């Protein structure tokens, strides 16, 4: 019998070679399957759909920016933080052309200038999925002459109702962290509005009264440790995504 097998292998050496290769492949799959509990693990395989949904649910709500604001994350090790350490730092800074200056030679122009809405907003859609908002309001050292900045109002609105306000001026800068914590139970949206109060200079040209109305740029500020705490049974997360 052994002689017959040897004769067969000699006559069909190509078949024997293929059989050896197939046997090796079967052994490799068998061993890897045992090492992973009987399941073959593919490299870079995506996680199950349920895990993907859970991961997505941990993200904070995406902000919607309207107006001249640049919103971005600063690395906790950025030199601008001057050695201070934070888990998250969201910078809110002016961008583009804020109104600047208007010359008014009639009372109507002056009244219209004072009513002008000089503001920009950041809105986080909540959909009732969060129970609490928390952060600290801070600000970096101003980079320009303080006269170039306007009196800046930082306001928070929950579903359209004002729930927080802070005024930043050249004489009342934010010199220490100002904690902010809001109840968001059932809230559908949270809006942060940044606005600038106009400065007015009156003078006479002959017998006519005139006005110079000017708006400086808003101060840059930080929201440190920004977090949206998810409601019980809901999904949410900390941190603010930049633009």
Cβ contact 194:92 at 8 Å:
yes
Half-sphere exposure of 230 (CA within 13 A, CB side): 14
Residue 12 pLDDT: 54
Question: Average pLDDT by consecutive 10-residue portion of the chain (243 residues)?
Answer: 56 56 56 43 39 47 92 71 67 82 77 82 96 94 87 96 96 92 97 90 80 86 93 60 45
Asked if residues 196 and 152 have their Cβ atoms less than 8 Å apart, the reply is: yes
- Region of 19 (left: φ > 0; alpha: ψ -120 to 50; beta: rest) is alpha
Helices within 36-190 (DSSP H only): 49-57, 107-115
pLDDT for position 213: 82
Question: What per-residue confidence (pLDDT) applies to 128?
Answer: 95
Output the pLDDT for position 102. Answer: 73
C-beta separation of 205 from 103 below 8 A: no
CA distance 196 to 149: 9
Q: Hey, is 5 helix, strand or coil?
A: helix
Q: What is the Cα–Cα distance from 28 to 23, expressed in whole angstroms?
A: 9
Residue 131 is predicted with a pLDDT of: 96
Structural domain spans, the chain: 2-35, 59-238
The pLDDT assigned to 22 comes to 59
Domain spanning 59-238 has what CATH number?
A: 2.60.120
CA atoms 59, 60, 65, 69: torsion sign = negative
The pLDDT of residue 49? 40
Q: What is the DSSP string of 149-215?
A: BPEEEEEEEETTEEEEEEEEBTTB---S-EEEEEE-TT-SEEEEEEEEE-EEEEEEETTEEEEEEE-
pLDDT for res 240: 46
Give the gyration radius of the chain's Cα atoms.
32
């Amino acid at each position: 019998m052994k002689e017959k097998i040897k004769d067969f292998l000699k006559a069909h050496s190509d078949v024997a070679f293929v059989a050896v290769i197939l046997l090796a492949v079967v052994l490799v799959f068998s061993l890897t399957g045992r090492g992973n509990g009987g399941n073959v693990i593919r490299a870079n395989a995506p996680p199950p759909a349920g895990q993907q949904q859970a991961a997505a649910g941990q993200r904070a709500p995406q902000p919607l920016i309207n107006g001249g604001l640049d919103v971005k994350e600063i690395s906790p090790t950025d030199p601008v933080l001057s050695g201070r350490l934070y888990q998250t730092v969201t910078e809110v800074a002016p961008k583009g052309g804020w109104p600047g200056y208007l010359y008014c030679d009639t009372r109507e122009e002056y009244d219209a200038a004072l009513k002008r809405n000089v503001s920009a907003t950041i809105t986080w859609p909540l959909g009732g999925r969060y129970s609490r908002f928390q952060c600290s309001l801070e600000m970096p050292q101003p980079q320009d002459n303080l006269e170039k900045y306007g009196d800046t109002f930082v306001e928070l609105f929950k579903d359209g109702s004002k729930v927080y306000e802070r005024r930043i001026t050249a004489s009342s800068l934010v010199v220490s962290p100002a904690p902010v914590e809001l109840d968001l139970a059932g809230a559908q949206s949270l809006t942060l509005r940044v606005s600038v109060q106009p400065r007015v200079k009156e003078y006479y040209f002959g017998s006519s009264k005139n006005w110079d109305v000017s708006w400086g740029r808003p101060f840059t500020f930080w929201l440190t440790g920004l977090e949206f705490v998810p409601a019980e049974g809901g999904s949410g997360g900390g941190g603010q995504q930049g633009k």
